[in-house]
């Protein structure tokens, strides 16, 4: 019975998230109200609040899922022959692919000014923390293998990866016609600089 109840709760949660995404796409994030989301999902506004808390938390859930999918996929492709640069590029590329599918450019353009400062940025801290932790685990894997210097500050490297990937993604996602090829080349150049450094060996 507990399993059934949990499945029903998850289905309702997904129903609310799907309803919110449709409204965000149609009306924009700011113009969409909790009442509209509740009506679209066929539930009450207090139910929406009970499941998520508010609009920002729904948005966070919608954005976390593509990244979680990318992380799972990147992890599954990792083996003893993997290269640190290739692995970071693959992780960033998968996150970019799934996030571009998750939200239309119009919604990214609306959200862009709020993603790095203010309440929305604060709400998204757990999302950023999860990406940093994944990058950290990836870099630690290579450091233990001897592919990265022991002196490398993994926490700083993981934070730089997340922050730069975020900025580059927003630039790509808000382009009229996102140039994925140019973005991938640029990210490989930047991540290559991070991995190989600028000092003579």
Residue with tokens 């991540």: 191
Domain of residue 115 covers 54-196
| Other Cβ atoms within 10 Å of 96 Cβ, number | 22
- Calpha distance 132→162 (Å, rounded): 6
What is the per-residue pLDDT across 71-97, written as a single tens digit (0 to 9) for each?
999 999 988 888 999 999 999 999 999
> Is the pLDDT at 201 greater than 60, yes or no?
no
Same domain flag for 11 and 34? yes
| Other Cβ atoms within 10 Å of 201 Cβ, number | 4
> Is the pLDDT at 196 greater than 80, yes or no?
yes
pTM to 2 decimal places: 0.88
* Positions of E strands within 61-159: none
- The confidence score (pLDDT) of residue 200 equals 64
Same domain flag for 89 and 131? yes
Question: Are the CB atoms for 73 and 138 separated by under 8 Å?
Answer: no
> Is the pLDDT at 60 greater than 80, yes or no?
yes
Same domain flag for 120 and 29? no
Same domain flag for 90 and 175? yes
What is the separation of C-alpha 41 from the centre of its chain, rounded to a whole number of angstroms? 24
> Is the pLDDT at 140 greater than 80, yes or no?
yes
């Amino acid at each position: 019975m507990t399993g059934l109840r949990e499945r029903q709760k998850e289905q309702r949660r997904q129903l609310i998230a799907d309803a919110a995404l449709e409204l965000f796409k149609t009306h924009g994030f700011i113009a969409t109200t909790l009442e509209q989301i509740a009506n679209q999902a066929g539930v009450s506004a207090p139910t929406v609040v009970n499941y998520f808390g508010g609009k920002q938390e729904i948005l966070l859930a919608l954005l976390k899922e593509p990244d979680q999918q990318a992380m799972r996929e990147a992890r599954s492709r990792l083996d003893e022959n993997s290269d640190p640069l290739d692995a970071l590029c693959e992780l960033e590329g998968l996150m970019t692919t799934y996030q571009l599918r998750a939200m239309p450019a119009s919604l990214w353009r609306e959200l862009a000014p709020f993603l790095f400062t203010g309440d929305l940025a604060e709400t998204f801290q757990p999302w950023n923390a999860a990406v940093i932790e994944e990058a950290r685990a990836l870099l630690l894997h290579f450091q233990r293998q001897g592919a990265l210097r022991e002196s490398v500050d993994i926490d700083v490297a993981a934070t730089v990866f997340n922050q730069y990937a975020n900025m580059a993604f927003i630039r790509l996602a808000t382009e009229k016609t996102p140039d994925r090829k140019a973005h991938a080349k640029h990210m490989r150049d930047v991540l290559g600089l991070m991995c190989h450094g600028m000092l003579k060996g």
